Amino acid sequence: MVTSSGTVKKRSPIAQTAGDRIFGFFNGVFIVLITVLTLYPLIYVLSASISSPSAVVSGRMWLWPVDLTWEGYDRIMQNQEIWLGYRNTILYVVIQIAVSLLTTLPAAYALTIKPLPGRKVLVFLFSVTMFFSGGMIPLYVINRNLGLVNTLWAVVLPSATSMWYIILTRTFYQSTIPLELEEASQIDGCSPFGTFLRVVMPLSGAIIAVMALYFGVGRWNSYFGEMIFFRDRNLYSLQLFLREILIIAQFSEENTSNADAITMAEQIRISSIIKYATMIVATIPLIAAYPFIQRYFVKGVLIGSIKG
Amino acid sequence: MKKLFVLLLACVMLLGSLGAVAESKYDLSQFVITYEDFPLTTEPKTISLMGIKHPIHGDWDKMVFFGMMENATGIHFDITTIPLDGYAEQLNLAINTESYSEVLLGCMINNNQIVDWSSQGVLIPLNDYITEELTPNLYAFLEMYPEVKGAVTAPDGKIYALPQLNSAPIAYLSPWWVNGDYLKALNVKDEELPTTIDGLLALARRIRDEDPNGNGKADEIPISVYDNLGGLNIWLGAFGLPSAGAYVDDDGKMQFGMFNVEKMTAWLSFMKTLYDENLIPKDFLTMTQSDQSALGAENRIGIAMQAIPGNIWYHDGTSEEKDAFFASCPMLPVLGSDLSAPMLPHGGYGISTGTFALTDKCEENGNVELMMRWADFLYSVEGSYLIHYGPEGVIYEEDADGNRVTIFPSDGRSTEEVRGGDLTPDCGIPMPKYVRPDTEGRSTELQQVARTRQADEKQVPYKRLIMPALFFTEAETTELATIETDLGTFMDSVLAKFVVGELDIANYEAEVITPLTTNFKIDRMLEINQEAYDRYAAAI
Amino acid sequence: MTSLNTTVTRPGRKKSLFARFSHAVYKYWPYYMMLLPAIAYFVIFCYGPMYGVQIAFKDFKIKRGFGGSPWADPLFKYFYQFFESYYAWNIVRNTLVLSIYGLVAGFPVPAILALSMDEMRRQRTKKVVQTITYAPNFISTVVICGMILSFTNQTTGIINNMIVALGGEPVAFMYKEGLFPHIYVWTGIWQSMGWSSVIYFAALSGIDPQLLEASTLDGASRWQKILHVKIPAILPIIVIQLILSAGSLLNVGYEKVYLLQNSLNLNTSEVISTYVYKRGMVDAQYSFSTAVGLAQSLVSFVMVFLVNAIAGRLSETSLW
């Protein structure tokens, strides 16, 4: 053992065996293939949003933009309320992430404590909510009784957490944080809160990042609750404004009995690129945010904490 | 003179007292409604009103229509609007939580809701208020159009909601248009357009083969169809059948079209010819309207069905040049065949139901009579014009012949954006009104004029009603839902399979008649329809 | 002491239950405090509205509300209505085919993708590739379906253009009912694999580097390290997600199926959600859709219960 590990040590980590090289090669090929497969439709969507609609439909546009036009984006940007929507949505996302992490992370940790009395009952009762829900009207009544209607809490609080995410977080804690570490901190005189804050939290940057992403994206893409609970236009989120733009574009398709038939016909033409453009307007920030999440997927956090 | 004075005085008082009206960017004093029955009340009155707000709409309480009506009638509305997106849930919530208003204007209430809500006392019957004395316009309107009266009368014999009617034939007859440039290239004159199925096939083949768009490529789509069978079932009429589904025969009895083997197979063979010979796009089952308008913009479409040619083709140039081109695209005549004289089936009469209803709250406050008189104005000539186009001088003015001349907005918006944004809620949301037969045609747009003229000449003589709009009870609707959903699935898939050749038309009886009679309760469906039709016939 | 103990056993039992409870609270109160926000959430926003479930068994009268609406007659009226449909079993079968196929084919892909990317040496490239595969998740369903239809178009679609260029005949992909499940499932995998692998990136980052170093020293190849270190590290997450997915076997979303449906593929593409939607267009009924939803939930719940029991036997991972 000692000798073999000694020889390995000399060769590692830079030198690779032939098998590792072959593996690396095929792995590289796989990655390239996947990347091309995903990249193509992404470029297609981007190009479609700035190409003439007829070029897209007739297949003349298949990769790069053809007959460049900014009409789709023009139409969206004409709407001053888009910026209000961005502002509101970002605010809601931030608040949602804060509320959800405060609800989810401690609960998931408490549920890892095996001897906790009532743990199984709670997990069971929480899990039921993944499958059964009372529907919109009772939820509306509760929100109204709590005085939440027409405030951001009417959409943030009802999605404060979800059992699915609590279970994922719990599983992550269980599989990555060594029990000895927690026990050691308890022996050192740390309270459960202290253990959670000083031992568990610093080690779970990755899952916190993932949960923030899940809850944040959920809020970002949501529109149904916003549609029902917001009366005041100043509260509207980006998705609501974008849906309005799409409805107006479709309206031109249906609306025919009017004086100004010529203008309407023009709008039918661009309604399909508005579809692509709104999607991109709604998505770019989510993609831009991803690198910030990626930072937390770095190995070696654990080692530092053990030594420290 | 005295009346006018009172009216003006009321206007001034209201203008002074109401902030919402004063905020409007239009000077309402220049838009005055002079109407015999107005004002409805001498002391200002506030009534709550609920409506669906289309995204194109501005705030309802800043709309010129409501401002003018308030000045003229003395009724101020406390308005609650529900966004169009998700309105069904919102309406249910409003009813469930008792937060609905006295008046439901433009709430797109469907027949199920009318039956349901009226049985729970939310909607009140309006029959007693539809009289010659109280609501003369509405009364005369319903007398003139018994089919409208039949369509709005609930199974219990009462009327709970008022409709909109567009009585112009173009509102309910579907037209096929032919590319004017193609016809020039093929040297086909208007009077040489086909009037039979065979003639249509001949023209379509020429479009396919003779490169009428002159680009040297065989990329023409002779007949554009999208979204399943598109308008192709209109041509069932050419074979003498109004519909593949249920229809009323000349004796007032319900029939089921697919049972007619001779006519159905003739129609299917025609469609199969279109598909096999590439006269319709191969992807007709998955294409959408956007696809069609993109192909139209590339001048690749020969014949297509849309309300106006402008929605199919695209033409460079000024508005006038575009208009002239679209007006040069003729309407395809109604077709006949060896089996039948030309026939144009149509589904209804341009009726939108559920546009205006009053709730029990309105009754409690004693405002029913007042609101019925308010609504009655909308069925007058002036009222129907006002709620649709807004006052003269904003987006239109009348020329010496009484035709509308469009005034293009100076702020870069389209007329629709001004109409829905500032003038009236009757934009994207159906409102109570009666559009007279000649209203649509009173335009200076060549396309619009050509469309109404051709509808009268080429379509009206051959029109055939499939079935009037029927009003079912709750139990009937539930029973029909299961039968019709299954039937729709079966019909869609079996007909498409015949067209693309997955099934052989020679086996029609085995593939269609046998499953129809064994698997689906068609007899029951026809029976329910017959009962509803008999009620309808009794109501008119 | 011992004799006293035996005599008071029976009456003392209740007391000891209470004692156990107070002892639990005394000893574990910090953990209950941590659970408090979640408990409050589930009580108020999940169990609070739960009374709404009863409309599946009622003739719902909107104004009379949930309590005041009469019970349906027969009680399971709306469940029967679903099975009155001639296509009911066909619809259930299609739903199961799409979801089971989607689960079996789609489940391993994100994990494989995560493991594969984890093997990449260049950090910068790795991050870029991660972001690219993550992005399609945010393309809206309408746009995705529009793209699928345009790629498979018989005359202009890029796929058929390639087939023709290679000397083949164009294929009517969307008209073939046999192809529908494949198109549905694989485009779904394509769209969501990057997004679904995010959780595995997180799990992989939790691996103790000393463990990897040690196995390197032991002469383990990259492949062996994947098998013996990395897969075990993400296995609990995989198992848990698998258990939870068992609960969505009857829930195939309506939008994508509906947009890809046409008259020729209905035989394999009609699923529960599209059927409920189409029925709703004829007859907008609350109770019917709620009844179908409740039945789906019941099946889901039972499925998760069963799968969880099996998983508990086979591995150490379990829900409760």
What does the pLDDT look like over B375-414, one tens digit per residue?
Answer: 999 999 999 999 999 999 898 888 888 888 888 888 878 7
Residue A31 in contact with residue A21, Cβ under 8 Å? Answer: no
C-beta neighbour count of A102 within 10 angstroms: 14
Do C21 and C167 belong to one domain?
no
The whole-model pTM stands at 0.87
Give the DSSP H or E segment for B357: strand B351-358
Whether the predicted pLDDT of C5 surpasses 70:
no
Are B373 and B336 within one domain? no
pLDDT at C11 over 80: no
What pLDDT, on a 0 to 100 scale, did the predictor assign at position C14?
55
Are B97 and B72 in the same domain?
yes
- Mark whether C42 and C83 lie in a shared domain: no
Secondary structure (3-state) at A14? coil
CB contacts of C270 in chain B (<8 Å) are 489
Contact B102, B359 (CB under 8 A): yes
Nearest residue of chain B to residue A240 (CA atoms): B85
Domain that holds residue B507: 474-539
Q: Are residue A156 and residue A263 in the same domain, yes or no?
A: yes
Domain that holds residue A14: 2-57
| A-chain residues near C41 (CB < 8 A) | 103, 157, 160-161
Judgement on whether residues A190 and A239 belong to the same structural domain of the protein: yes
Q: Does the distance separating the beta carbons of A27 and C116 come in below 8 Å?
A: yes
A22 touching chain B per CB within 8 A: no
Strand partners, B83: B53
B220 shares its domain with B296 = yes
**Among candidates B92, B489, B497 on the partner chain, residue whose Cβ is nearest the Cβ of C62:** B92
Residues A164 and A250 reside in one and the same domain: yes
- Average pLDDT value over all residues in chain C: 85
Residues B45 and B139 grouped into a single domain = yes
- Partnered with residue B75 across adjacent β-strands are B45
Separation of alpha carbons B251 and B306, rounded Å: 32
Compare all CA atoms of chain C with the CA of B110 and give the residue at the minimum distance.
C284
Nearest chain B Cα to A251, which residue?
B428
What tens digit of pLDDT does each residue of A59-111 get? 788 889 988 888 889 888 888 888 899 999 999 999 999 999 999 999 999 99
CA distance A118 to C313: 22
Tokens of residue C253, six digits: 């979303």
Instruction: For chain A, positions 172-231, list CB contacts with chain C under 8 A.
Output: 172, 174-176, 191-193, 196, 203, 206-207, 209-210, 213, 217, 221
More confident position, A72 or C67: A72
Residues B237 and B366 in one domain: no
What kind and span of H or E run contains B353? strand B351-358
- A neighbours by CB contacts (3+ pairs under 8 Å): B, C
Mean pLDDT of C193-203: 91
For B86, the closest chain A residue by CA position comes to: A227
Nearest CA among C91, C87, C269 for reference residue C181: C269
In a domain, C71, yes or no: no
Residue with tokens 């490529």: B217
Map tokens 């029609």 to a residue.
B508
For chain A, the C-alpha Rg in angstroms (whole number) is 26
**What distance in Å separates the CA atoms of residue B476 and residue B534, rounded to the nearest whole number?**
14
User: In terms of domains, do B322 and B341 share one?
Assistant: yes
Segment holding B396, helix H or strand E: strand B396-398
CATH number, position C272: 1.10.3720.10
Q: Is residue A293 scored above 60 in pLDDT?
A: yes
Interface test with B, best of C58, C143, C159, C263 (most B CBs within 10 A): C263
**Choosing among C55, C60, C61, C62, which should be mutated to test the B contact, i.e. which has the most B CBs within 10 A?**
C62
One domain for residues A255 and A286? yes
pLDDT of res. A10: 40
Are A19 and A109 within one domain?
no
Q: Searching chain A, which residue's CA lies closest to the CA of residue C27? A: A116
Q: Given the structure tokens 């009638």, which residue do they identify? A: B73
- Residues C276-293: tens digit of each pLDDT: 888 877 666 677 888 888
The total of other beta-carbon atoms located within 10 Å of residue A95's CB is 15
C48 touches chain A (CB under 8 A): yes
Q: Does A102 lie at the interface with C, CB-CB under 8 angstroms?
A: yes
Would residue B477 be called left, alpha or beta, if left means φ above 0 and alpha means ψ between -120 and 50 degrees?
alpha
Are C263 and B281 an interchain contact pair (Cβ–Cβ within 8 Å)? no
**CB C184: neighbour CB atoms within 10 A?**
23
Smallest CA-to-CA distance from C299 within C99, C102, C131, C107 is with C99
Are B330 and B355 part of one and the same domain?
no
Q: Which residue's structure tokens are 């409506």?
A: B51
Together in a domain, C179 and C44: no
Taking residue B124's Cβ as centre, other Cβ atoms within 10 Å add up to 18
Q: Are residues B311 and B359 both part of a single domain? A: no
Chain B residues with beta carbon closer than 8 angstroms to that of C288: 481
My answer on whether C129 and C227 are in the same domain is: yes
Q: Is A247 on the interface with B (CB under 8 A)?
A: yes
Q: What is the domain count for chain B? A: 3
Nearest CA in chain C to B219: C155
84-113 in chain B: CB under 8 A from chain A = 84-86, 89-90, 92-93, 96-97
Tell me, yes or no, whether C128 and C14 share the same domain: no
Asked if the structure places residue C59 within a domain, the reply is yes
Q: Are residues A164 and A187 in the same domain?
A: yes
Number of neighbouring beta carbons within 10 Å of residue A238: 26
Structurally, how many domains does chain C consist of?
A: 2
**B122/B238 same-domain check:** no
C17 part of contact set with chain A, CB < 8 Å = no
Structure tokens at A162: 């979800």
Would you list the DSSP string of B160-213?
-EEEEEE-SGGGT-PPEEE-HHHHHHHT--GGGS--BHHHHHHHHHHHHHS-TT
Residue C301 and residue C247 share a domain: yes
**Residues B276, B221 within the same domain:** yes
Indicate the average pLDDT of chain B. 89
Domain that holds residue C14: 2-66
Residues B337 and B371 in one domain: no
Examine residue A13 and say whether the peptide bond preceding it is cis (omega within 30 degrees of 0).
Answer: yes
Contact A255, B171 (CB under 8 A): no
Digitized pLDDT (tens) for each residue of chain B, 540 residues in all: 444 444 444 444 444 344 333 345 788 888 888 888 889 988 889 999 999 999 889 999 999 999 999 999 999 999 999 998 888 888 888 888 888 999 999 999 988 889 889 988 999 999 999 999 999 999 999 999 999 999 999 999 999 999 999 988 888 898 999 999 999 999 999 899 999 999 999 999 999 999 999 989 888 999 999 877 778 889 999 999 999 999 999 999 999 999 999 999 999 999 999 999 999 999 999 888 888 888 888 899 999 998 888 888 888 888 788 888 989 999 999 999 999 999 999 988 889 999 999 999 999 999 999 999 999 999 999 999 999 999 998 988 888 888 888 888 888 787 888 888 999 999 889 999 999 988 888 888 888 888 889 999 999 999 999 999 899 988 898 888 889 989 989 999 999 999 999 999 999 999 999 999 999 999 999 999 999 999 999 887
ipTM of the complex: 0.86
Contact residues, chain B, for C266 at CB < 8 Å: 489, 492-493
**Is A63 part of a structural domain of the chain?**
no
Q: What residues in C contact B98, CB-CB < 8 Å?
A: 63
A118 contact residues in C (CB cutoff 8 A): 24
